[in-house]
Amino acid sequence: MNDDNNEAKRRDTSAGPATDVSRRSLLRGVTIAAGGAAFLAATLTAQQAEAGNMTQQAAGYQKTPKDGKRCDGCSLFQAPSACKLVAGTIDPAGWCRFWVKKS
């Protein structure tokens, strides 16, 4: 009698073939999803930076230099009056908190 009960329990807890997922296929799916998400995030970030979407106020932009640092000495500056990061007209003598020395 106990053997019959144990057999019934085993049958009730077994998963059918529709729910069987191998560890390999699960890890492959997770890896592909993570890689796709990272690629999408990098692409969107690069597009936003190229478009100069940040407002001048958000960047702390000012039309005067700060501590000898000027937009025309920044690697993000695009002559004659644009920036890869900050939107709008940029004065070559200006400055913002994202200033990066040209290499």
pLDDT top residue among 41 and 39? 39
Q: Is the pLDDT of residue 15 over 70?
A: no
Q: Is the pLDDT of residue 60 over 60?
A: yes
pLDDT top residue among 29 and 39? 29
**Position 6 confidence tier, pLDDT thresholds 50, 70, 90:** low
- Provide the CB-side half-sphere exposure for 76 (13 A, CA): 25
**Position 30 confidence tier, pLDDT thresholds 50, 70, 90:** confident
Q: Mean pLDDT, the chain, as a whole number?
A: 80
